[in-house]
């Protein structure tokens, strides 16, 4: 089977049902894949764009937790494929198809949709997480999977050994056969010939459909299983199936300025989320969103261009080393090393630094924000100072141990009561 035929015979399943509780109040009203990122996108846009750019055009997004904003985003911005060519991007909400329980884990989420999977009759299944930020050509991984005659291929990324206890770590031989798997090990195995790094699972898998179908049925009947790919199925496959590691460096879309640093981020914590956005304010970010050969798509709305008002001595509308999205108005204020998402207004005499301001926020006059993440639709009252007094910030808002402060409209409302 040639690669084009293989891509047409691949069903991509994006697991987008998780809450992402480590993002705190950012996921109170939305699932993690629906969290805005990089000025104009949502996290789900990255795996969706990777699928389209890779030629994968049968895509199902599996949703569960507070999925309204995610459903709306996908329906409005990702409905351009041709059903008459057997192409689609569909939303598969949790429907309790196999019983009365909701999704019990990542593997169970796929198992509960076996009926739809069987109807599509695809030869390969690509499993993706809906909450990671990266650019990858999945067709390269698919071709390697086929050439290896593998039952399952696991995408892996090299991580420093000192960070390996945060990941599921693969132990591979010199031919990239996975010979052991350890979940967040205290003494992680290293790569052959590279004692300073370990090989971490990215939560990206390619399965032969028949193989996966049989294993999911067995796992569903196992009362001792947590029904998770990383915790249960992948370790079970080791030694019992042909399971291969695929190096992310082979299929990542290179950034010419960082040729030896494949970009992949799990933005699952507030600090990781803030850092990922801050990277985009650099002169040359690690994540290249300006690469026209691998565009990241999203839902588009009609918005005016960003605008900067006033040019008086103490009232100059300016943005330095920042990303300012469409619909924003910076009125007599200074924005430095920050990201303003769509339709944000920063009013006169305010100073915003190293902050991430999500859509439709309004920052009042004489405010000062440093190291802040402002949730969507939040109105910051005039004269508010955040990021200068750690104790006061922790009393009023959510402040983590790295000094990043999260502010929501609910927190503002409580201050005014």
Instruction: Please tell me the predicted confidence (pLDDT) of residue 417.
Output: 66
CATH 3.90.550.10 placement within the chain: 3-279
**Annotated binding residue 183:** yes
Is domain 307-416 in CATH 2.160.10.10, yes or no? yes
Instruction: Please tell me the predicted confidence (pLDDT) of residue 223.
Output: 85
C-beta atoms surrounding 372 within 10 Å: 26
Q: What is the mean pLDDT of each run of 10 residues along the chain (417 residues)?
A: 92 89 93 96 98 97 92 94 90 72 85 94 96 97 98 96 90 93 87 90 96 94 89 92 97 92 93 97 95 95 96 93 98 98 98 98 98 98 98 97 98 88
pTM surpassing 0.85? Answer: yes
Instruction: Please tell me the predicted confidence (pLDDT) of residue 20.
Output: 78
**Annotated binding residue 184:** yes
Q: In degrees rounded to 5, what are phi and psi of residue 211?
A: -60, -50
Query: How big is the CA angle at 26 (ends 30 and 361), to the nearest 5 degrees?
Result: 100
CATH 2.160.10.10 placement within the chain: 307-416
Instruction: Please tell me the predicted confidence (pLDDT) of residue 111.
Output: 94
CATH for 3-279, options being 3.90.550.10, 3.30.360.10, 3.40.50.300, 3.30.390.30: 3.90.550.10
User: Do the bridges between strand 124-129 and strand 197-208 make them parallel or antiparallel, or are there none, so unpaired?
Assistant: antiparallel
Radius of gyration, CA atoms only, the chain: 23
**Annotated binding residue 349:** no
Give the torsion through C-alpha atoms of 38, 44, 50, 52, to 10 deg. -120
Instruction: Please tell me the predicted confidence (pLDDT) of residue 84.
Output: 85
**Annotated binding residue 225:** no
**Annotated binding residue 398:** no
Instruction: Please tell me the predicted confidence (pLDDT) of residue 416.
Output: 73
Q: Give the 3-state secondary structure of the chain.
A: CCHHHHHHCEEEEEECCCCCHHHHHHHCCCCHHHCEECCCEECCHHHHHHHHHCCCCEEEEEECCCCHHHHHHHHHHCCCCCHHHCCEEEEEECCCCCCCCCCCCHHHHHHCCHHHHHHHCCCEEEEEECCEEECECHHHHHHHHHHHCCCEEEEEEEEEHHHHHHCEEEEECCCCEEEEEEECCCCCCCECCECCEEEEEEEEEEEEHHHHHHHHHHHHCCCCCCCCHHHHHHHHHCCCCCEEEEEHHHHECCCCCCCCCCCEEECCCHHHHHHHHHHCCCCCCCCCCCCCCCCCCCCCCCCCCCEEECEECCEECEEECCEECCCCEEECCEEECCEECCCCEECCCCEEECCEECCCCEECCCCEEECEEECCCCEECCCCEECCCHHHHHHHCEECCCCCEEECHHHHHHHHC
């Amino acid at each position: 089977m040639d690669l084009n035929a293989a891509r047409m015979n691949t069903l991509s399943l994006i697991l987008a049902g998780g809450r992402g509780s480590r993002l705190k109040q950012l996921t109170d009203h939305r699932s993690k894949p629906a969290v805005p990122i990089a000025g104009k996108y949502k996290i789900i846009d990255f795996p969706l764009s990777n699928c389209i750019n890779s030629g994968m055009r049968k895509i199902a997004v599996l949703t569960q937790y507070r999925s309204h904003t995610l459903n709306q985003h996908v329906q409005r911005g990702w409905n351009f494929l041709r059903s008459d060519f057997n192409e689609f991007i569909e939303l598969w909400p949790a429907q309790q198809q196999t019983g009365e329980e909701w999704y019990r884990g990542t593997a169970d989420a796929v198992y509960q949709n076996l009926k739809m999977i069987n109807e599509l009759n695809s030869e390969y299944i690509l499993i993706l997480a809906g909450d990671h930020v990266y650019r990858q050509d999945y067709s390269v991984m698919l071709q390697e999977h086929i050439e290896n005659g593998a039952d399952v291929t696991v995408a892996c990324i090299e991580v420093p050994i000192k960070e390996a206890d945060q990941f599921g770590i693969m132990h591979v031989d010199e031919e990239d056969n996975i010979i052991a798997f350890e979940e967040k090990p205290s003494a992680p195995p290293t790569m052959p010939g590279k004692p300073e790094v370990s090989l971490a699972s990215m939560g990206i898998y390619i399965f032969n459909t028949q193989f996966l179908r049989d294993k999911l049925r067995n796992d569903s009947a196992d009362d001792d299983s947590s029904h998770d790919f990383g915790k249960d199925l992948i370790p079970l496959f080791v030694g019992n199936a042909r399971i291969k590691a695929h190096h992310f460096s082979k299929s990542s879309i290179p950034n010419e300025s960082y040729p030896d640093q494949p970009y992949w981020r799990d933005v699952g914590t507030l600090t990781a989320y803030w850092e990922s956005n801050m990277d985009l304010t650099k002169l040359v970010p690690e994540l290249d969103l300006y690469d026209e050969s691998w565009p990241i798509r999203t839902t588009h709305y009609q918005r005016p261009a960003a605008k900067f008002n006033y040019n008086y001595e103490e009232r100059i509308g300016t943005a330095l080393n920042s990303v300012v999205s469409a619909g924003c108005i910076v009125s007599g204020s200074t924005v430095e090393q920050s990201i303003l998402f769509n339709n944000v207004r920063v009013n006169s005499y305010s100073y915003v630094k190293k902050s991430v301001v999500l859509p439709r926020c309004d920052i009042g006059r004489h405010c000062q924000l440093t190291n802040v993440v402002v949730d969507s639709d939040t109105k910051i009252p005039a004269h508010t100072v955040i990021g200068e007094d750690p104790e006061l910030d922790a009393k009023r808002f959510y402040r983590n141990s790295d000094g990043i402060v999260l502010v929501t409209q609910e927190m503002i409302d409580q201050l005014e009561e």
